[in-house]
Every structure is written in C-alpha cells, then in structure tokens.
Chain A
Amino acid sequence: MSLVAQVDRATPSAFGRGRRPGELTGVASLGLGVGVLWLSLLVLLPIAAIVSTAFEDGLAGFWDAVTDPEALSAIRFTVGAALLVTVINAVVGTLIAWVLVRDDFPGKRILEVVIDIPFALPTIVAGLVLITLYGPSGPFGINLVGTRAGVVLALLFVTLPFVVRSVQPVLIDADREVEQAAASLGASGFTIFRRVILPTVTPAVVSGAALSFARALGEFGSVILISANLIGKTQVSSSYILKMIESQETVSAAAVATLLLAVAVVVLVVLDVVQRRTARRG
C-alpha cells in the first residue's frame, strides 16, 4: 500500500540565485579577505616566526633544545597536568552546568556569578589567593606550595568556567520532550543520560575541554607562585620558556613553544575525533 507516498517530499529545492555553489559575492569575498588577513597577522605570522626560530639551528638544534632534561621534564609535567585538568573539567564542568540549568536552589544566581570569577580575576591575583589559602600559613594547614597538586589546583581554578559556560546553553536549549520520549520508551534515568543527553552535550563538553586544555598548557600567572618553580618537579613550560628568553636562548624557548603548539594541535584533533564518534554512537 502506498498510503503516504505522496507525503514524501523532503528534498528542499536548490537555492537557485543564478550562482554556482562555491562562488562568492562581492561582500562575501571582502569578508573572507578581511578574515584571512586578520588571522594571518594575529595568528599565522607569529606562529610562523616561532616555528622558524625553533629550527634556526636546524633539526638537530631543535631536538637538542626539547630533549634538554629540564625542558623535557617541564613539558611532560605541563602536558600531563593540562590533560588531567581537562578530564576533571569535562566531568565536573558538565555536572555544574547541569545543576545550574536543571536544578533550582537558593543562591543559584550567586553561583552563576561565582563561576565567572576565574575569568575576571587577573591570574597572578588568583595565584596569590591560592598561596594564601594553601601556603605554609594557610588557614587549612595544607601546604601545596611547590607541589604538583598545587599546580593542578591553580590550573583547575583558572579553567573552571570553560566547560560550564560551553555546556550550559546547550542544556538550556535541550528539548526536555526528547528525554520524556525516551522515558516513555522505557529508558531509565541513566540510559537517558548516556544515550540521549550525552550525545547532545558532547560537542559542547569537548569544545569547552579543548579550551581549558589550551589554557592550562600555556598558563603562567596563577601557577608561578604556588609552583615555586622547582626544576624537574613543578616547573611548567611557560616558566621554562621565560627562563630561556631571559637567558637569551631564544631557540630553546621557540623550540619548546613549537612542541607545545604541536601537542595542542594533536590534542584538539583527537578531541574532535572523539566528539564525532560519541555524537554518532548514541
């Protein structure tokens, strides 16, 4: 039977404005031009300068610079801490966003504002606050100065808003009826979360996580005080780079920066792949 054969006409008609796909109007070309120029000046040019400085002494020079034990340990620690912070943020940030969107409780407005404080505060002030609280004379009797935990704490503080703020609008827009539909089909709360909500918020979680990873990788101000900059233990890459620049070793500084850049690119690509996978898996 073809009861509804005539209902099927989903194919939208082509845009038909007498332009072939891929062709740009004058305004669009101008916009593209400005965009490319802007990106080139602000992003591509500095990156190119850093990469070229890094390889000034050839591949061997680059290799020597990044395999220097002090450099290597700073890079390892920085990347490791950034990854850890990213994972924690992805989970806790999503949870906080959920609470802010779905629950009603006194003080919700205040919490909304508090979330953004790490954005508003100069990072060095954040660092100062952290050593006051978790330093040798802190009120809790916990001394995290010069410990890796202290560095991770500082990174968590400055990257807190990223995931929260990227997931929140997605949750606000999420259609509650989709969850109700899943419930009436027999899905438990956990199944609804895993199969309906998670696929919806994953892209936002990933983009927030990517931002917080990038931020953690390059963070300087909030970390520098609590880390005490202990070489081989709590020294982060950014502080190592500063040290190299101060001692006129620009190639080493650029080499470490280039490596960090490469790590960032790899992580961002991996996150993108993860996101596409989850979104499809459902």
Chain B
Amino acid sequence: MNQSAGHSGSAEAQSGIVVRGVHRSFGDFVALEDIDLEVKPGGLTALLGPSGGGKSTLLRIIAGLDYPDRGAVEIGGRDATFLPPQRRSVGFVFQHYAAFKHLTTARNVAFGLEIRKRPRAEVHDRVAELLELVHLEQFADRLPSQLSGGQRQRMALARALAVQPEVLLLDEPFGALDAKVRKELRDWLRRLHDEVHVTTLFVTHDQEEALEVADEIVVISQGRIEQVGSPAQLYDHPANEFVMSFLGPVTRLGGVLVRPHDIEVLTDERAGAVQVEVTKLLRVGYEVRAETRAQDGSTPWVQLTRAQVAELDLAEGATVWLRPLVATPFPAGSPRAPEPVPA
C-alpha cells in the first residue's frame, strides 16, 4: 500500500470482502446462518437490520474479533478466516469509541503507527494530516474525556484510518450520539468516503441512516440476509414483507402491504378502492397522518400533506375511498412474516 494521505487521487487496488457460508451460534442461539456476502471494493455498504439480528457478529467476524463456527472470510482476495485481528489490515470503529483514555487525540491517532515503529517525523506528519481530515486539528492535545461524542468518534475514525487499512468496519458508529450530531456525522462520513475510497462496511439499525449514506445495503435479520441492493432498489423493490416494513413505514390496505404515502385518497367510489372512515387526523410536522377504519375492521393509515388534506376537505368521521398507487412488489404472503415496525 502506498496511499499517501488517505485523500483521493492516490488510487490503489481496493480490497473487497467476501464472506462464504459463515455460520456462528452462541449456545442455542444462531447468530448467523450460513451467510454469503460480497462487499464490493471501494464502496460504502450498510449492514442493516434489527438489534440481535446478527449484523454486529458478522462485522466482528470480518474484523477477527470473533470467529465463525464454519465458513470463510476473504479480505482483498486473501483468506482471513483465522487470521488474528492484528494481521487483517482492518480498521474498526466501535459504537462507544473505544478511545485510549490516557492518550491525547494525537497520540490516539498515532497509536497504530507508533506500534509499527514508523519514524517519528512520518508519524507526526501523518497524524497532522488525519486530524485535518477529521477536523480535529485544534483538539490534538486534548484527552478523549475533553471531547464531545461526535469528536471522539471522528478521532476513532482517524485512528482506524491511520494504519491505511484495506477495509474500514464501523459498528453502529453513530449509535451513541444524539439525533442532530448523528445526522451531521452521517453526511460527513458520506463525504469522507468520497475523499478516502477505502472499502467501508458499517452496521446500523437505522434505516434512514442506511438509505442516506450507503451505496449498497445488506438487510440482515435473524441471522440471515434478506436482501442486498442499492437504497432505491430496496425501497422500491423489497424482496419480502420484512424488508419492506423495515425500510420504511407500511400499512395494510385491502390485505396488501403498501407504503402510506403511496395511497390515493378518493372522495368517491372507484375500481379497486377500499371504503374507509377517517377516525383521526394527526399533524406531525409537515405531514398529516390520516388514520382510518375499513369495513373489514382493518385500520390503514395514509400519509398526506397539509395541502392534500385541505384540498380533499378531509375531516374526522368522513367517508373516503383508498387505493394503492403502486402495486406491491412481491407476491402477497411472501415468506418472512413482517415484524411489527413502529411507524
């Protein structure tokens, strides 16, 4: 590797990750069930799924912090299944930063380089470069305890990047941060990845985070991969009910799953429309949620704008007809039963 600064330009042969038939169980609990996955070199891939679904276990197996019961892991075309973490050329970022609390920001970032016994001047320059990259230049001499959560996580990222890993793994990197910082760091990670084209795989349970940041999303649940694809593919063409309901709000209308913003509200009866009574109109920020009750007892809800509500002259107690705007992308009653996802 001769990537000079981690900045773009110095294009190097990028390493992908290949996971073959990886299986891992803890006692009776099967965390990963014969996982096959290929992570494209240079991409920003999200492992998305509910907590306890196995995504962190998979990430830790790739990093060498855990080992599969069977199966193989390849990093950059080399078998890494039983390599210790030290020899995998993997940068790992933990949810809770895992900062070296007794070392300053600069020394934290320098850690991997100092271990490799790099010349002092080289370490100094590289650390300065990385601190600039993560915008912590002015915090070089602070201890982690004197940094905010967001700053600590950026420090951890710089520390992982310092040793020029072939792949960067992030385990719920923004999970411990408050909503606003989270959003800022999300944008920042996206832009950082555009500068440093290291193959990046990050774990998240936040579908919005995955949809916003990743090039590719791998949906994992109950130890199995549900679907792999681009954010748009997954959102528009979910493979099953689970993926559909995990990636965004869904509601059930006339027996089929549909996104509440893909429902047409009609004031008269038409073909394919279901008659419902509006039970409640709920203002949430810029949107209005219309909760309804159909004659079969089901309670579909519709996501509308204020303008739409005004135009339809919608009021609680009114009778309207609902019709899905898009066809359900998978056959009804597809394999995995959806878990209840709070809207």
Enumerate chain A interface residues (CB-CB to B < 8 A).
2-10, 175, 177-178, 180-188, 191, 195-196, 199-200, 279-280, 282
- Is B73 interfacial (CB 8 A cutoff)? no
Known contacts A8-B135, A10-B151; is-contact A181 B92 (Cβ 8 Å):
yes
| Nearest CB in chain B: distance from A9 CB, A | 7
- Contact status A175-B102, CB under 8 Å: no
Of B91, B102, B160, which is within 8 A of A280 by CB? B102
Cβ contacts under 8 Å, B187 to chain A: 3
**Quick one: closest B residue to A196, CB to CB?**
B100
B65 within 8 A of A: yes
Interface residues on B, range: 35 or more
- A96 CB → nearest B CB, Å: 23
Report whether B135 and A2 are in contact in the complex, using a CB–CB cutoff of 8 Å.
yes
* B96 / chain A contacts, CB cutoff of 8 Å: 175, 177
Contact A183 B188 (CB under 8 A): no
Are B86 and A187 closer than 8 Å at their CB atoms? yes
- In the complex, whether B90 has a CB less than 8 A from a CB of chain A is yes
Instruction: Mark B residues whose CB is within 8 Å of A.
Output: 63-65, 84-86, 88, 90-92, 94, 96, 98-103, 107, 111-112, 115-116, 134-135, 139, 146-148, 150-151, 154, 156, 159-160, 162-163, 181, 184-185, 187-188, 191-192
Q: Measured between alpha carbons, how far is A8 from B148 in the docked complex, in Å?
A: 8
Is A4 in contact with B188, judged by CB distance below 8 angstroms?
Answer: yes
Judging by beta carbons under 8 Å apart, are B98 and A200 in contact? no
B223 to chain A, nearest CB (A): 22
**Contact assessment for A186 and B135 in the assembled complex, using a CB-CB cutoff below 8 Å:** no
Q: Which B residues touch A3, using CB under 8 A?
A: 135, 187-188, 191-192
A-B residue pairs, 7 tightest by C-beta: A185-B112, A10-B148, A181-B98, A177-B98, A199-B102, A184-B92, A4-B135
Given A181-B94, A184-B63, A184-B86, A4 and B154 touching (CB < 8 A)? Answer: yes
When distances are taken between beta carbons in the complex, the residues of chain B under 8 Å from A2 are: 135
* Given A200-B101, A200-B102, A186:B185 Cβ within 8 A: no
Is A7 a contact partner of B115 (Cβ separation < 8 A)? Answer: no
Whether the Cβ atoms of B98 and A175 lie closer than 8 Å is: yes
| Cβ-closest chain B residue relative to A188 | B86
Q: What residues of chain B lie closer than 8 Å to A178, measured between beta carbons?
A: 98-101
Note all chain B residues with C-beta closer than 8 A to A7.
135, 148, 150-151, 154, 181, 184-185, 188
| Extra inter-chain contacts (16) besides given A185-B159, A200-B101, CB under 8 Å | A4-B150, A4-B184, A5-B135, A8-B148, A9-B148, A175-B98, A180-B65, A181-B159, A183-B85, A184-B90, A184-B160, A185-B160, A185-B162, A187-B86, A187-B112, A199-B102
For A282, give its contact among B100, B151, B163, B188 (CB under 8 Å): B100
Residue in chain B with minimal CB distance to A5: B135
